[in-house]
Structure 1
Amino acid sequence: MQQEIHFVTGKGGVGKSVIAAALALKLSRQGKKVLLVELGDQSFFKDFFDLADVGFQPVEIKPQLSVALWTGEACLREYAQYLIKVESLAKLFFDNAVMKAFINIAPGLPELAMLGKITSGPRKYGPPMNFDCLVVDAFATGHFKALLAAPSGMAQAVQIGPMGEQSRSIIRVLRDQSITKYHIVSLPEELPLKESTELSEYLKNEFSVEPSLVMNKVLDVNIPLSSLKNAETQTSSDLGLFAQYLEQQLDRQQSMFKQAGTNFKTIVKVPLFFETDPWKLVEKAVEKIP
């Protein structure tokens, strides 16, 4: 079976991590072995799911579902050890002060290392990852663009040699829609949708891929408009004021969905759930993801 990669991104605060967890759980229930990957130095899921620890090595949190946290440095270390074959030499290489300084200042190197790790399965390069799907809780939209741009920058800078070839093979995987899927999470609000649309255009222009849009925290109320209008006549009561507010919110949502429909072929609607238990919240979101 060909390993799939699912990138989940969106403007900060839109709930992309919950959507990533829901997508990962959904895929695991389809009989696939899934790895939910966080990128960066701190784990959201450690505190969210009250886990003992989340690190570079996968930890199973549900049947068929594991989680891991990947940093650029950890991915580089694994890559170097894979090439050098001797752990002590790889450790010596990374503990060198000059090398540490180079890693910190080299533009795009941590991002390139993370993408190299993420795409290593389909490229059949590096240590094996025995997972059918990787769901990547990726960076927010701006940093996500920088992440995706890293291999192109390296491929242009290094025309020949293994580094250039590795960068080009990463790009091929990122462009292959049979392998790599992109999910942009937004809210039915102007600024998040604007950033989502800009990222969608970037993905279409640079990678020729069509991302899906997950509209999160949608007000999903089954109240006839006539009932709202009747309640609004009670202008001196809290009910009347709330009815006015609710109608305005629903009108704005409708406008945002109409706007999104001109830029996205696939739009998934996830309602606003009033749920404080993390797993129950993820379970409810799973039901809305096709």
Structure 2
Amino acid sequence: MKQEIHFVTGKGGVGKSVIAAALALKKSREGKKVLLVELGDQSFYKDFFDLPDIGFKPTEIRKNLSIALWTGEACLQEYARHLIKVDSLAKLFFENAVMRAFINVAPGLPELAILGKVTSGPRQHGPALPFDVLVVDAFATGHFIALLEAPKGMAQAVQFGPMGEQSRSIDACLRNQDLSKYHVVTLPEELPVKEATELLQRLKAEFSIEANLVVNKMVQTSISEAELKSTQNENSDLGKFAEYLEHQITHQKEMWDKTQEKATSMKAIPLFFETDAWTLTEKVGDSL
């Protein structure tokens, strides 16, 4: 069975991390062995799920579901140890002042190292990742584009040798939608929708990627429009709430219609009033 890779991105604050966790949990409940990957130095899930420290090595947190926190430098160090085979030599390699300076200034190298590890399974290159599915809680919109651009940029800068070859291999894997899936998360609000639709267009234009759009926290109600309007006539807090609710529903419909013009695949996730993290994640996963 081919390994699936799912990238989840979106404007900060739209709930992409919860969507990523929900997708990972859903896949794990289907019987697949899943790794949920966070990118960066700090873990959102540690506090969200009340977990012990999350590190570079995968930690199982539920049946079939593991989690890891990856930085570019950690991925690069692991790859160097894999190539050099001797830990002490790899350590010297990274403690070398010239090499550390190169790592810090080389454009796109941390991003390339992350993507090299993410795509190592399909490419059969580097340390093994024994999972059926990788769900990557990726960087927010702007940094996500920089992440995807890194392999192509490195391949153009280094056209020959192993680095150029591997960069082209990573780039090809990212563009192969049988292997790599993309999910852009937004809220039914003006600025997040604008940023999300612009990202959809860039992904298609620059990478030939058709991403799924996930519209998070959609207010859903069984109350009819007539009932809302009649309740608004009451001079009470309930009447004011009915007015607010009608406004929200009307506005989110406008946002949905506007987004639908530019997205080929969309999914609405209801607004859940749930305080327990795992219960919320399960409910969101059921809606995906």
TM-score, L = length of structure 2? 0.98
State the Cα distance separating 1:98 from its structure 2 match.
2.3
Match of 2:195? Answer: 195
Q: CA deviation at 1:153?
A: 0.8
Structure 2 counterpart of 1:126: 126
User: Whole-Å Cα distance in 2 between the matches of residues 94 and 24 of structure 1?
Assistant: 33
Counterpart for residue 166 of structure 1: 166
Q: How does 1:146-225 map to 2 (within 5 A)?
A: 146-225=146-225
Aligned: 1:260 with 2:259? yes
- Equivalent residue number for residue 143 of structure 2: 143
Q: Report the Cα distance in structure 2 between the residues aligned to 1:248 and 1:51, rounded to whole angstroms.
A: 39
User: Shift in Å at residue 97 of structure 1?
Assistant: 2.2
Amino acid at match of 2:17: S
Structure 1 alignment gaps of length 5 or more: none
In the alignment, the residues of structure 1 paired with residue 101 and residue 272 of structure 2 have an alpha-carbon distance, to the nearest angstrom, of: 46
Which residue of the partner structure matches residue 87 of structure 1? 87
Residue 191 (structure 1) shift: 0.6
Structure 1 residue 287: deviation in Å? Answer: 1.1
| Distance (Å, rounded) in 2 between the aligned partners of 1:14 and 1:223 | 26
236-245 or 194-203, larger mean C-alpha shift: 236-245
SS in 2 for 1:41: coil
Secondary structure class of the residue paired with 1:287: helix
Identity %: 67
Cα RMSD after superposing both structures: 0.8
Aligned length: 288
2:231 is matched with: 231
Distance 1:52 1:152 in 2: 37
Question: How far is the alpha carbon of 1:106 from its aligned partner?
Answer: 1.5
What residue is the counterpart of 1:272 in the other structure? 271
Q: Does 1:18 align with 2:18?
A: yes
Query: Which residue matches 2:53?
Result: 53
Q: Aligned with 2:287: secondary structure?
A: coil
Q: Distance in 1 between matches of 2:99 and 2:11?
A: 33
Distance in structure 2 (CA, Å) of the matches to 1:220 and 1:90: 55
CA drift of 1:47 comes to 1.1
- SS for the counterpart of 1:252 is helix
> In the alignment, which residue of structure 1 is the partner of 2:68?
68
Runs ≥4 residues deviating over 2 A:
none
